[in-house]
Structure 1
């Protein structure tokens, strides 16, 4: 296959495995040895363990943008993760990749998020700064390797090497010359785990992990656009000058002049997702034809992402992200709620760190005294696992003198 090969002629995809796909029979295994399942592949078991975890269930009541009580029709971390997994499976099927691994990574990618979205993460990063800070990707790793307790033989979920690698490296290498954001130190949780189990932090992750990462971009940009319009944070008219989005709304209105306005939104989001998926697969096939990876490790050591949008789509995506940042994520009504979320997280942390005896017994047992680094990390783990609802209720129990403890 030469660099001039028509990407559409690549003889795999839609059920035919690519030579550079991760193969379950070639997995690098798990940290703790386990017998193979007679009915499921290693990556299918990873997916199932993630779905059955307590951390995954809690995503139902964790903020995407809107806090849980602001409306039942807005996305949560759980519905977002399901939407990402659907896109990741579709793209993986088109490219001949392992759908089960891509799905497992899509379902696990937000496990480490705090209550109140990025506001909660920022608050924990601030109060934990002198104790190694807080990073939601690192927290996802802590959850699946340590904090989930469902098995007698080990803590965590004992996922395969390929799933753990993709979980921490889906945005690219974390160390070495190819790492992005070198000014920021490697999150402590990832560094500590890497000493025990080498995840190859200086290389790219598998093609499946790269697909899951860009499926995340497709899902949250399009669905935040949907939620923002329905919440009235901006109007369709505000989108007129936005590349791709504005022309699509004009086209849909021309195609369906008598449709209900709410259906315009559904139709535009549906078309945008399709356009972005098609662009992603075509650009990735172009790169496959150019670089000709022969195995999964070729993808890891390519020196650049194999799975990518075209340059034009990256510009469109950045424009939409910039619009949402200004008109949605920084809208005054969203700011007010995120401000409350930050205060709740900080106040809970400071009280429980100073008075760890206020923690539930199973968490208090893990601490080693008031105001210590170990206690700070335990309190951080406890708060990070809270849902929006539980955090608000816990804050009320701790600070409202009229509330029962």
Structure 2
């Protein structure tokens, strides 16, 4: 009979995918550098994480040096996540002392798990942000793509037609390309960090329209990683959902903290970027920040600020501290429901300042995310990503064409040289990995070159 609640002693596991060839050897004692800190370090040194420095956060390809990109956003989210995890971990260890005594779990472990998952939370995002996800989805729904999709199952088709950066991220963390190594496992992270990373622990089908449960709004892994996630979920005893044949689970509880850290950072720091870029009126923005803090309208700080931007930074720091404190209280109040799978909504929705945060969100949508340069570059992203996918997929499926053979030679071998017997779905997923893994500028440059808009320089 399925279990009806989950327990921390199962949820916090240092188990990871390892083979004799991939065992980590170190002279550093685990008490100094724990397993979950290793997860964090492995993500930091991964090429996919490094490429986030040239992927859109708020403004695509910003010229200003103080505007955030995906890399800085991920780093800041991990800092917030570490604080959330440590504060929560301290209370959980007090409530469940056997974790420390029998499993050697420390307060810092909770912080490291959440920080690592936060660090990776956008690692699968394609160029041009969420618009890039829409562009990839639109291509696979288009007439041009249909000839290559005839052999795919309904779930495989849905993976592509509703392309999801979260699922791409799980693949980045867990998949090893055949041209690199025959052993699976990707970065070989712990099962707990991978489960905490997975905010949507379900496959793409069934689509649950109109759900109020936050973990059911998207999906968290492709069909290629379905069995892998199922193994993790069963090892950690995540609570199952749906029909027995579906890979569909309740969230790992710490995934709520990852979601909260992301929400806090993009709500507050994206808004701060909008203020500094002049997209949000200065006084209106500062008034909203002060309302979150419940500061009196005429309150004067004892600090001296050289300009209003410096004061905004000070207000932002105070706000993040307040939101961290409130978020951890909400999580701990609802811990029994979260463990039982009866709580499934964003923690940020429970905060006392939610009405002001909603005002900030609405103003950000209208003045930042719908800003004309943003919309223009996102529209161009549809042409770029759709064009790249179409060209690269034809290079795989039509190798008899001289033109397509030339293009195939430009695609890194790990994305195109698959083992015998690879399915059409696997071949398409590998090409999608290649295109989605490009930075904004790399995608534009490659598109220009293959379309003859710009020729490479000859040295």
Could you tell me the TM-score, scaled by structure 2's length?
0.71
1:68 corresponds to 2:53: no
Tell me the residue number matched to 1:340: 380
- Alpha-carbon offset, residue 318 of structure 1: 2.8
1:322 maps to which of 362, 376, 396:
362
Say yes or no: does 1:303 pair with 2:342.
Answer: yes
Count of matched residue positions in the alignment of Structure 1 and Structure 2:
375
Partner of 1:13: none
TM-superposed CA distance for 1:30, in Å, is 2.4
Q: Deviations over 1:48-93 (max 9, x none)?
A: 2111111111111111112234322211111111101111111222
| SS of 2:49 mapped into structure 1 | helix
Identify if the C-alpha distance between structure 1 residues 361 and 242 changes in structure 2 by more than 3 Å, giving closer, same or farther.
closer
Q: What's the CA shift for 1:398?
A: 1.1
What does 1:211-290 correspond to in 2, within 5 Å? 211-239=257-285, 242=288, 245=291, 251=297, 254-255=300-301, 259=305, 260-288=307-335
Give the aligned partner of residue 94 of structure 1.
Answer: 87
Q: 1:121, 1:239 → 2: CA distance?
A: 30
1:45 paired to 2:41: no
Contact 2:167 2:219 survives alignment (8 Å): no
- The answer as to whether partners of 1:128 and 1:380 remain within 8 angstroms in 2 is no
In the alignment, structure 1 residue 382 sits paired with structure 2 residue 434: yes
Task: Say if 1:398 and 1:318 are closer, same or farther in 2 by CA, change over 3 A.
Answer: same
Asked if 1:160 corresponds to 2:206, the answer is: no
Query: Separation in 1 of the partners of 2:298 and 2:417?
Result: 59
Q: Which residue of 1 aligns with 2:15?
A: 29
Q: Which runs of 5+ in 1 are unaligned?
A: 1-19, 292-297
Q: Deviations over 1:302-346 (max 9, x none)?
A: 421598343533343333222211111111121112112222111
In structure 2, relative to structure 1, the CA distance for the partners of 1:143 and 1:93 (3 Å cut) is same
Distance (whole Å) between structure 2 residues aligned to residue 68 and residue 103 of structure 1 = 26
2:221–2:229 contact (8 Å) kept in structure 1: no
**Against the structure 1 CA distance between its residues 197 and 275, is the aligned structure 2 distance closer, same or farther, given a 3 Å change threshold?**
closer
State the alpha-carbon separation in 2 of the partners of residues 398 and 191 from structure 1. Answer: 34
Is the 2:289–2:316 contact (alpha carbons within 8 Å) kept by the matching residues of 1?
no
Verify the 8 A CA contact 2:256 2:346 in the aligned structure 1.
yes
Q: Which moved more, 1:66-75 or 1:186-195?
A: 186-195
* Partner Cα distance (2:24, 2:217) in 1: 42
Distance 1:243 1:263 in 2: 13
Q: Displacement of 1:146 after TM fit?
A: 0.9
TM-score (norm 1): 0.79
Q: Residues 84 and 215 of structure 1 are in contact (CA less than 8 Å); yes or no, is this contact kept in structure 2?
A: yes
Gaps of 5+ in 2: 1-6, 91-106, 142-148, 150-156, 242-248, 397-404
- Paired residue for 1:119, among 127, 131, 141? 131
1:142 aligns to 2:171 (yes or no): yes
- The change in CA–CA distance for 1:400 and 1:99 in structure 2 (over 3 A counts) is same
